[in-house]
C-alpha cells in the first residue's frame, strides 16, 4: 500500500508541473495487429518497448526487458526463461506430452510460443505486450496474452549499427547490423543482423573448480530482404538462425551461487527459421500471405542430485537426466484486409477475414540414469536406467474475422471472432497413445471513444481459449484414474475498461482495469514418486473448476524538460483458485507466479548535449512458486543504471545491473533431494547478482 501511495503522489506532482514544461512525446505505433494503430487509439491493455529502450539494455535478451513490464512474470529454471506469465496465467516449466502454451510469443509474425529462450533483442525495432486473451487475433496459443517482437526492416538508405560490450564474469558481446537498397531503383532492399554473446555466467562450480558451467554462448544471425515485385505486390523474406549453446548448472542445496554438480547439464536450443510475407494491394483490400517454417533442436539435461561423491558421502547418490527434443513447425495464413477506398466507396467500416493453419511435429528422446547406495544396506547400491521416446504431432486450423464500425469520427465499435479446430496424435515407447481434439471459439467486442482534448476511453469483452491435452507417465502413480489421463480446454473471459490521456504534449497516461474469469482452469501439480530418485517426478495437469484474476495496469511517460524524462509502470493483480474439489487445501489461494504488484520506474537525464544518465528500478512482491505447495518468494527491488557519452555517431556507456547486489529468487521447488532422509525442502533459483560493464556503440 505504501508503494501505491508513492505512485499516486508522483502523479500529482507530474500533473502539477504541466504548466511549466512543454516538450512533445513521440507517437507510438502498434504493429502486431491487422493494421498499424496509434497506441493511444488501441482498445485494450498494451505495453510497448520502443527502439531506444531496447537498445539501452546492455544484455540483449527479452528476459532482461521483461522486468519493465507490469503484470508480466517469468519462470527460469535453468538457463534462459522460456515461459512467461501474463496476469498470473502461463506455464512455469517444461512439459511431458502436450506442448500447449498460454502466452503467445511471435517474432516477425513467426510463432515461437513456448520457445521464448531464443528471444535475443539486438537490432529490434519494437516489442509489444498484449495483456488479456487474444482469441480473435492469435487463438489457442494466447489465452493470457501475446508478446510480439518486431525486428528492424530494410531501409531505403544504407545504414547500420554496431556494438561491443564487455563486463565482469567474462562477458563479451559483439553485434553488427546493416542494410539498404541492393538496386538503383530500390525495389530490392536487405538488412543483415549478426550478434554473438558470451559470458561465464553467475555461478561457480566449487567441485569442478570452474566458473563457466552456467555460461551463455549465444549467436543470432538474421537476414531480411524486401522485394517490390510490381507496383502492387511486395514480398518480405526472412531467414534466421539462433543458437543458444548454454550449459545448465544452476541449482544448489544451500541456496548460494556456488554449485557442486559433478555432471553439469545443458539448456541449449538451435532454431532455423524461414518466413515469407507477400502483400498485394487490390482495389478495395490488401491480400496478405504469411508463410513460415521453424526447425528446432533442444538439449535439456541436468545433474538431478546437484552434488558429487564428496558432498553426498558416505552415501552414493548420483542421478542425471537428458532430453533431446526436435520440433518442426509449418504455418500458413491468408487474410484480406480492407483499405480506405472500400470504406469511402462501399460500406462505412473496416474489415478483416482470413484462414490460418499451423502444423507441429515434435519428438523427444529421454534418458534418466542413477545410482543410490547406503553403506548400512548390504544390497545397495541400486542402479536405474530409464529410456523413452515419444512422437507428437498436432494441427490447428482456424478461420477468423474482424469488423470495425465508426459510429462517428470519435466512436468506434470493433467485433472479432475466431473458430479453431485442434487435433493431435501422441505415442511413446511406453505404449501410451492419445488422439485428443477440440473445437474452440473466441473473440472480442470493444468500444472506444475519443475526445477532442486527446483523451480516449475504451471498454472491451474478450474470450480466449487454450486446447486440452493429456498426461503421460502416470503409471508410476497408484492413485491415478482414467479421468486423470486427459484434461479439457481452458477458457478465459476478460473484461477491461481503460483510459488513455495526453496532458498537453509531454505526458501520456494509460490506465486499464481488468477482471477475468477462468473456466476449467488447467492447473499443473507435480509429485516425486520415489523420494530417493529425483528423476521420478510426475507432472499432472487437471482442470480446476474456476479461477479469478483482476487488477490494474498503469503506464505513465513524461518529458519534464528538454533534459529530463521519467516513466512509471505499475501492475496490481489479485488472483484466486476457486472450487478445486480434489485439492481443497489450495482453494482460495493465489495462483502461482502471480505477484500482487509489479512495477518499474526511472528517469533519463541529459546534463549536457553529449552525456546522459539513466536510473531505473524494477520490483515485484512475493509470489507462490507452485500450485503443489505453499512456499513463496520474497519481494525485491532491482536498480539498474548507466552513464553514457555520445560524440557524433559514437557512444561509450558504463552500466551496472542490480546495482545493490540484491539476492532474489525467480523460481522455487519443494521436494526431497538430500540423502538419506530426503526431507521435503524449499530450493530456490536465484536471479543474477550485480553485473558491471561498458559498451561502445557506433551507428553509420
Q: Which cell numbers in the block locate residue 612?
A: 546522459
pLDDT score at 22? 39
pLDDT score at 478? 54
Q: Residue 482's pLDDT band (boundaries 50, 70, 90)?
A: low
Cα–Cα distance list, 282 to 338, 342, 400, 488 (Å): 9, 10, 20, 42
pLDDT score at 7? 44
Over 80: is that where the pLDDT of 363 sits?
A: yes
pLDDT score at 134? 93
Helix, coil or strand: residue 65: helix
Q: Tell me which of 11-25, 136-150, 155-169, 501-515 is least confident.
A: 11-25
- CA atoms within 13 Å, Cβ hemisphere of 355: 2
Higher pLDDT, 156 or 533: 156
Cβ partners under 8 Å of residue 427, min gap 6: 390, 391, 433, 434
Q: Residue 15's pLDDT band (boundaries 50, 70, 90)?
A: very low
Over 60: is that where the pLDDT of 1 sits?
A: no
pLDDT in tens, 558-572: 999 999 999 999 999
Over 90: is that where the pLDDT of 8 sits?
A: no
Over 50: is that where the pLDDT of 10 sits?
A: no
Q: Residue 479's pLDDT band (boundaries 50, 70, 90)?
A: low
Q: Which of 89-93, 437-441, 538-542 has the highest mean pLDDT?
A: 437-441
The CA-based diameter of the chain, rounded to the nearest angstrom, is: 90
Q: Which cell numbers in the block locate residue 300?
A: 535439456
Helix, coil or strand: residue 4: helix
Which helix (DSSP H) or strand (DSSP E) does residue 13 occupy? Answer: helix 2-16
- Dihedral sign computed on CA atoms, order 341, 344, 347, 349: positive
Is residue 120 within 8 A of residue 177, CB to CB? The reply is no
Cβ partners under 8 Å of residue 254, min gap 6: none
Is residue 578 within 8 A of residue 548, CB to CB? The reply is yes
Instruction: Set out the domains of the chain in order of their start, with CATH numbers.
Output: 2-699 (2.40.170.20)
pLDDT score at 547? 87
Mean pLDDT of 455-467: 95
Q: Which of 88, 67, 82, 98 is nearest to 627 (CA)?
A: 88
Residue 118, φ and ψ in degrees, nearest 5: -90, 10
The mean pLDDT of the chain is 91
Q: Residue 593's pLDDT band (boundaries 50, 70, 90)?
A: very high
pLDDT in tens, 435-454: 999 999 999 999 999 988 77
Over 90: is that where the pLDDT of 523 sits?
A: no
First to last CA, the chain: 48
Is residue 229 within 8 A of residue 217, CB to CB? The reply is no
Over 50: is that where the pLDDT of 5 sits?
A: no
Amino acid at each position: 500500500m505504501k508503494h501505491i501511495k508513492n505512485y499516486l503522489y508522483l502523479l500529482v506532482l507530474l500533473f502539477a508541473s504541466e504548466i511549466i514544461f512543454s516538450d512533445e512525446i513521440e507517437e507510438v505505433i502498434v504493429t502486431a495487429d491487422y493494421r498499424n494503430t496509434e497506441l493511444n487509439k488501441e482498445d485494450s491493455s498494451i505495453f510497448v518497448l520502443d527502439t531506444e529502450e531496447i537498445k539501452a539494455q546492455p544484455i540483449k535478451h527479452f528476459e532482461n526487458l521483461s522486468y519493465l513490464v507490469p503484470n508480466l512474470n517469468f519462470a527460469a529454471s535453468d538457463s534462459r526463461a522460456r515461459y512467461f506469465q501474463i496476469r498470473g496465467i502461463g506455464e512455469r516449466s517444461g512439459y511431458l506430452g502436450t506442448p500447449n502454451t498460454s502466452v503467445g510469443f511471435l517474432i516477425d509474425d513467426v510463432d515461437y510460443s513456448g520457445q521464448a529462450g531464443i528471444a535475443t533483442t539486438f537490432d529490434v525495432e519494437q516489442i509489444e505486450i498484449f495483456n488479456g486473451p487474444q482469441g480473435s487475433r492469435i487463438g489457442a496459443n494466447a489465452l493470457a496474452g501475446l508478446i510480439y517482437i518486431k525486428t528492424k526492416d530494410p531501409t531505403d538508405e544504407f545504414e547500420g549499427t554496431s556494438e561491443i560490450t564487455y563486463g565482469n564474469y567474462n562477458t563479451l558481446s559483439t553485434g553488427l547490423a546493416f542494410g539498404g537498397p541492393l538496386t538503383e531503383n530500390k525495389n530490392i532492399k536487405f538488412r543483415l543482423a549478426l550478434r554473438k554473446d558470451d559470458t561465464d555466467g553467475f555461478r561457480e562450480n566449487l567441485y569442478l573448480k570452474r566458473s563457466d558451467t552456467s555460461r551463455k554462448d549465444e549467436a543470432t544471425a538474421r537476414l531480411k530482404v524486401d522485394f517490390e515485385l510490381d507496383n502492387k505486390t511486395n514480398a518480405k523474406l526472412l531467414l534466421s538462425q539462433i543458437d543458444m549453446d548454454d550449459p545448465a548448472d544452476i541449482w544448489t542445496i544451500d541456496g548460494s551461487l556456488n554449485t557442486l554438480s559433478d555432471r553439469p547439464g545443458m539448456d541449449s536450443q538451435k532454431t532455423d527459421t524461414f518466413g515469407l510475407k507477400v502483400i498485394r494491394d487490390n482495389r478495395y483490400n490488401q491480400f496478405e500471405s504469411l508463410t513460415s517454417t521453424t526447425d528446432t533442436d533442444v538439449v535439456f539435461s541436468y545433474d538431478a542430485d546437484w552434488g558429487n561423491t564428496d558432498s553426498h558421502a558416505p552415501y552414493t547418490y548420483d542421478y542425471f537426466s537428458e532430453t533431446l527434443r526436435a520440433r518442426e513447425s509449418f504455418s500458413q495464413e491468408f487474410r484480406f484486409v480492407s483499405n480506405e477506398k472500400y470504406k469511402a466507396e462501399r460500406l462505412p467500416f473496416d474489415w478483416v477475414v482470413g484462414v490460418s493453419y499451423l502444423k507441429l511435429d515434435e519428438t523427444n528422446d529421454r534418458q534418466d540414469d542413477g545410482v543410490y547406495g547406503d553403506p548400512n544396506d548390504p544390497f545397495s547400491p541400486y542402479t536405474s536406467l530409464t529410456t523413452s521416446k515419444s512422437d507428437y504431432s498436432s494441427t490447428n486450423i482456424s478461420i477468423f474475422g474482424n469488423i470495425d464500425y465508426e459510429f462517428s469520427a470519435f466512436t468506434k465499435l470493433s467485433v472479432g471472432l475466431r473458430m479453431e479446430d485442434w487435433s493431435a496424435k501422441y505415442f511413446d515407447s511406453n505404449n501410451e497413445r492419445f488422439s485428443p481434439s477440440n473445437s474452440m471459439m473466441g473473440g472480442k467486442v470493444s468500444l472506444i471513444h475519443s475526445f477532442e482534448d486527446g483523451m480516449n476511453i475504451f471498454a472491451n469483452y474478450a474470450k480466449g481459449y487454450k486446447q486440452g491435452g493429456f498426461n503421460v507417465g502416470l503409471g508410476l502413480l497408484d492413485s491415478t484414474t482414467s479421468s486423470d489421463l486427459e484434461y479439457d480446454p481452458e477458457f478465459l473471459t476478460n473484461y477491461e475498461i481503460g483510459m488513455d490521456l495526453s496532458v498537453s504534449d509531454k505526458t501520456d497516461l494509460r490506465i486499464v482495469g481488468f477482471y477475468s474469469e477462468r473456466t476449467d482452469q488447467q492447473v499443473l501439480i507435480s509429485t516425486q514418486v520415489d523420494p530417493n530418485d529425483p528423476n521420478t517426478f510426475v507432472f499432472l495437469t487437471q482442470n480446476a473448476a474456476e479461477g479469478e484474476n483482476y487488477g490494474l495496469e498503469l503506464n505513465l511517460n513524461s518529458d519534464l524538460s528538454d533534459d529530463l524524462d521519467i516513466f512509471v509502470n505499475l501492475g496490481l493483480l489479485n488472483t484466486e483458485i476457486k472450487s478445486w474439489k480434489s485439492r481443497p487445501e489450495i482453494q482460495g489461494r493465489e495462483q502461482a507466479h502471480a505477484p500482487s504488484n509489479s512495477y518499474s520506474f526511472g528517469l533519463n537525464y541529459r546534463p549536457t548535449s553529449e552525456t546522459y544518465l539513466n536510473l531505473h528500478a524494477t520490483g515485484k512482491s512475493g509470489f507462490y512458486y507452485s500450485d503443489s505447495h505453499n512456499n513463496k518468494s520474497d519481494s525485491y527491488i532491482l536498480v539498474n543504471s548507466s552513464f553514457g557519452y555520445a560524440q557524433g555517431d559514437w557512444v561509450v556507456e558504463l552500466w551496472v545491473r542490480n546495482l545493490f547486489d540484491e539476492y532474489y529468487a525467480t523460481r522455487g521447488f519443494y521436494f526431497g533431494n538430500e540423502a538419506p532422509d530426503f526431507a521435503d525442502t524449499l530450493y530456490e533459483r536465484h536471479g543474477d547478482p550485480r553485473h558491471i560493464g561498458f559498451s561502445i556503440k557506433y551507428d553509420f
